Amino acid sequence: GLGGEQVEGRQAVRELLIAGRRKTREIWIANDIDANDVIDDIRELAEAVRVTVTDVPRKHIENTARSEAPQGIIAFAAPLPEIGIEELLESRNGVQPFLVAVDGVTDTGNLGALLRCCDGAGVTGVILPKHRAVHVTPTVAKTSAGAIEHVPMTLVPGLPVAITQMRDKGIWVVGL
């Protein structure tokens, strides 16, 4: 699947709760973290959807983290929902598909930054190959600043078939 079960970083966790697309089991916050608007917002959002927030030693977070700088917060959630490519190829609410097919991206930071750009540009879906590409890790989630919660994604066995499906639906294909 896409992954995304462990979300690290303040903005990524906040967006996980705001989007509400998937169940969040628990959130850990470092017990020495300074109170600020984002942390307060996370606590309020979690309480509103009945997600347990546990204050834990920072060392515990750092030992569990899989990204470089979890910013004193980790959320544990259900995996990201995968959307079928057929659904991504359809117009929704009169909006034509604006898709990005990602090929050969193996760096987690690069995929996260790409997803953040896609979210900002209004991309309606991202197509990722199942093999020889990175999927959603805690670093991708953190680098995307929560964009993983808002940009639908699908995994495909091969991009050439997906590109053919796009062309068959009349979607312009531009290679960069």
- Write down the pLDDT at residue 174: 87
| pLDDT exceeds 90 at position 154 | yes
- Write down the pLDDT at residue 175: 81
| pLDDT exceeds 80 at position 176 | no
Instruction: Write the pLDDT tens digit of every residue in 41-84.
Output: 999 999 999 999 999 999 999 999 999 889 999 999 999 998 99
| pLDDT exceeds 90 at position 143 | yes
DSSP 8-state symbol, 149 = G
Interatomic CA distance for residues 26 and 49, integer angstroms: 11
- Band the pLDDT of 94: cuts 50, 70, 90: confident
Interatomic CA distance for residues 26 and 166, integer angstroms: 39
Average pLDDT value for the chain = 94
Interatomic CA distance for residues 47 and 40, integer angstroms: 11
Instruction: Write the pLDDT tens digit of every residue in 102-111.
Output: 998 999 999 9
- Band the pLDDT of 95: cuts 50, 70, 90: confident
Judge contact between 69 and 141, C-beta under 8 A.
no
Q: What mean pLDDT is predicted for residues 149-170?
A: 94
**44 Cβ neighbours under 8 A, 6+ residues apart:** none
| pLDDT exceeds 90 at position 133 | no
Residue with tokens 């953040």: 116
